[in-house]
Structure 1
Amino acid sequence: MTVLVQTKNEQAAIGICLEGLSAFDEVIVVDSNSTDRTVEVALSHGAEVVNFTWNGEYPKKKQWQIEHLRTRHPWLLFIDADESPSAQLVDSIRNFVNSDPNASAAQLRLEYHFAGRALRRGHRVKKTVLLHRDRSRFEPIDDLNIPGMGELEGHYQPTCDGPVVTLRGLLRHDDVDPVRTWFDRHNRYSDWEAALRLQSERRRGNREQRSRQGRLFQRVPFKPLVFFVYSYVLRGGVLDGRAGFDYAFALASYYWQIGLKYRELRDGRTSGEVAT
């Protein structure tokens, strides 16, 4: 089983992440030209480090790894430096890759932490990040001229040639950086989402690669309000206390940003250009 850890200036988190991956026999840190001690810390924990420099074209970072890294195993687990699997998830992954020869990928459920607090209820996230390299891929969605994501594949699912299953256990996601970095990232992401929404051809391609839940949510009117009610009330985020409110409100604000930026682009009230 090969784990591919995605990093760029993650010196504060990478050590904790790698300590949680001791059950896997191949761990590769794929670093995007970090300027801090990320690489030094990764090497000190015994990880192999591969540098990735994006050339501004496809493939982007994850698909580049599928195409170019020579790994010991066909199953690849993509995780971020602020993520680590629970013991139950490690067992589930091991059993899955050894017993399901026809599957293409697996979804992992997140134990999401926001502003230092674990969220037990509210909006739940699944990520399709355990991929068989011969049966899964990140298709180009024609977003090279759209700001916001850069070298990263955006918020869409990989294309899989066979069944995708959901595993038991949780992938802990706990960002150690200040909460302002969450808002910085989502400000960029909303630029990307708004531009894709404006360009109908690109949006269709992107929508096809979203999860079923994501495709349904794309069609919902008044998304910020609907999401807040769904996450905080219907899904019980209120029971997570202040953290549940903060997360539901922050994500609702993210969807509001996307809508506002989309309308600005649509109405030509920005100097930025969107390629056609």
Structure 2
Amino acid sequence: MNDENRISVVINTRNAEQHLQQVLEAVKGFDEVLVCDMESEDATLDIARRNGCRIVTFPKADHKSAEPARTFAISQARYPWVLVVDADEIVTPELCEYLYRRVNGPDCPAGLYIPRWNRFMLRYTKSISYDRQLRFFRREGIVWPPYVHTFPTVQGRTEKIPSSEQNVRLIHLADETISDLMRKTNAYTDSEILKRSAKHYGLGALIGRPAWRFFRNYVLKMGFLDGLPGLIRAGMDAFYQFVLVAKIIEKNKRMNIE
């Protein structure tokens, strides 16, 4: 295999010891595993070293998510193709095989949206169990905005991996509790308002955005089939939107006063 068809796995970490060993075992079939660590204080680096990973560091500073370190980490990869994996996500063998088949075949796109399976309250719920993440792409020219819930800018055509490809996915190991979601809501909305600084929301958005998000997850995505977990998760997602809009309104009012 020539270098043009090789793949680097990039993993951003910060105190990620809980699932890291399992995550690294799942990516041993790739050409390189690069860990970009944000000053971890647990066993993260020891685990990475034991598994033969190449390690680079990025200052933690006051960052509340991995996004500020993404572009730097990707730029440090040795090979032209990059698969970005979070420190609590498993790459299935089928996904590994699929990616190599694509880069060695004709007409491979510059980026691929990968299916990801998530769980909540010990189960995979209809409302949030499945999403697609733009995690595989050519390294050249990649810019990842330093805000939470953003996708990288890819130079070229992108595709979605079809659902007909059985087990070609990322598996999200995190089983988020309501306390986890509350912490993330506060941290992530603080980060997200930075990319929405030009927005001027009012009463319509404060009511409409949470209502739409609840309707989408609970009705359109059939979260109602999951009983109470589906109802709670749809409600938490709606609450996230309420807090986000409320913080933007608050920020704009404070700026106007100043």
Per the normalisation by structure 1, the TM-score is 0.76
Partner of 2:45: 39
What amino acid does structure 2 have at the position aligned with 1:175?
A
Partner of 2:181: 182
**2:249 counterpart SS class:** helix
Matches within 5 A, 1:109-258: 109-119=115-125, 121-123=126-128, 124-138=130-144, 152-167=146-161, 168=165, 169-175=168-174, 179-200=178-199, 222-258=208-244
User: CA distance change for structure 1 residues 176 and 47 in 2, over 3 Å: closer, same or farther?
Assistant: farther
**1:240 counterpart SS class:** helix
Partner of 1:97: 103
How far 1:187 moved relative to its partner?
1.0
Partner of 1:28: 34
- For the residues of structure 2 that align with 1:197 and 1:41, how far apart are their CA atoms? 37
User: CA distance change for structure 1 residues 102 and 24 in 2, over 3 Å: closer, same or farther?
Assistant: closer
How far 1:14 moved relative to its partner?
0.6
Match of 1:262 among 234, 237, 248: 248
In structure 1, stretches of 5+ residues that fail to align are 140-151, 202-218
- For the residues of structure 1 that align with 2:113 and 2:50, how far apart are their CA atoms? 30
How far 1:267 moved relative to its partner?
2.2
User: CA distance change for structure 1 residues 113 and 74 in 2, over 3 Å: closer, same or farther?
Assistant: same
8 Å contact from structure 2 (residues 119, 176) kept in 1? no
8 Å contact from structure 1 (residues 12, 176) kept in 2? no
- For the residues of structure 2 that align with 1:173 and 1:50, how far apart are their CA atoms? 24
How far 1:165 moved relative to its partner?
1.0
User: CA distance change for structure 1 residues 265 and 164 in 2, over 3 Å: closer, same or farther?
Assistant: same
Count of aligned positions: 240
- For the residues of structure 2 that align with 1:12 and 1:78, how far apart are their CA atoms? 18
8 Å contact from structure 1 (residues 115, 178) kept in 2? yes
Q: Using the TM superposition, name which of 246-255 and 130-139 deviates more.
A: 130-139
8 Å contact from structure 1 (residues 82, 176) kept in 2? no
**2:238 counterpart SS class:** helix
Q: Using the TM superposition, name which of 185-194 and 33-42 deviates more.
A: 185-194
Matches within 5 A, 1:11-26: 11-26=17-32
Partner of 1:10: 16
8 Å contact from structure 1 (residues 77, 130) kept in 2? yes
User: CA distance change for structure 1 residues 177 and 230 in 2, over 3 Å: closer, same or farther?
Assistant: closer
- For the residues of structure 2 that align with 1:100 and 1:262, how far apart are their CA atoms? 46
**1:12 counterpart SS class:** helix
- For the residues of structure 1 that align with 2:154 and 2:183, how far apart are their CA atoms? 31
How far 1:138 moved relative to its partner?
2.5
How far 1:269 moved relative to its partner?
8.7
8 Å contact from structure 1 (residues 116, 174) kept in 2? no
User: CA distance change for structure 1 residues 64 and 14 in 2, over 3 Å: closer, same or farther?
Assistant: same
Match of 2:88 among 82, 85, 95: 82
- What is the identity percentage for the equivalent residue pairs of Structure 1 and Structure 2? 25
- For the residues of structure 1 that align with 2:150 and 2:248, how far apart are their CA atoms? 19
- For the residues of structure 2 that align with 1:112 and 1:70, how far apart are their CA atoms? 27
Partner of 1:60: 68
Partner of 1:214: none
How far 1:84 moved relative to its partner?
1.0
How far 1:48 moved relative to its partner?
2.4
User: CA distance change for structure 1 residues 131 and 200 in 2, over 3 Å: closer, same or farther?
Assistant: same
8 Å contact from structure 1 (residues 17, 84) kept in 2? yes
In structure 2, stretches of 5+ residues that fail to align are 1-6
